[in-house]
Amino acid sequence: MANDIVIWHNPRCSKSREALKLLQEEGIEPVIYKYLDEHPSKEEIQKVLDMIGAKPRDIMRTKEAIYKELGLKDVEDDEKLIEAMAEHPKLIERPIVIKDGKAVLGRPPQKVLELVKEG
């Protein structure tokens, strides 16, 4: 599993489907993690943030209704933002691809190829 490439995937998202297709065209069959169904823990989200080198809001879908409903625009506490993503995974931007302790947000989807073609 250590060498596996994992994609945090939402099959209903065109960008996520495009990133998956790009990987498959490279002969890569990633482990598909349907994060909306499996709900990543706060620890998993923090680990991905560390791998990307990002802050919580960098991987948040700030245009989602739930973002506004929860009043997250005014939240400065990273821990609270991570908690919100763990409770409401719809807030997590997709796709996220993980390989060898590194991760990338596939926006645009072609960014996933930069990660998988490294070393």
**Cβ contact 35:94 at 8 Å:** yes
Q: What angle do CA 16, 104, 96 make, to 5 degrees?
A: 35
13 catalytic? Reply is yes
Alpha helices by DSSP H, 9-95: 14-25, 35-38, 42-52, 65-69, 78-87
Catalytic pick from 1, 4, 7, 13? 13
Which residues are annotated as catalytic? 13
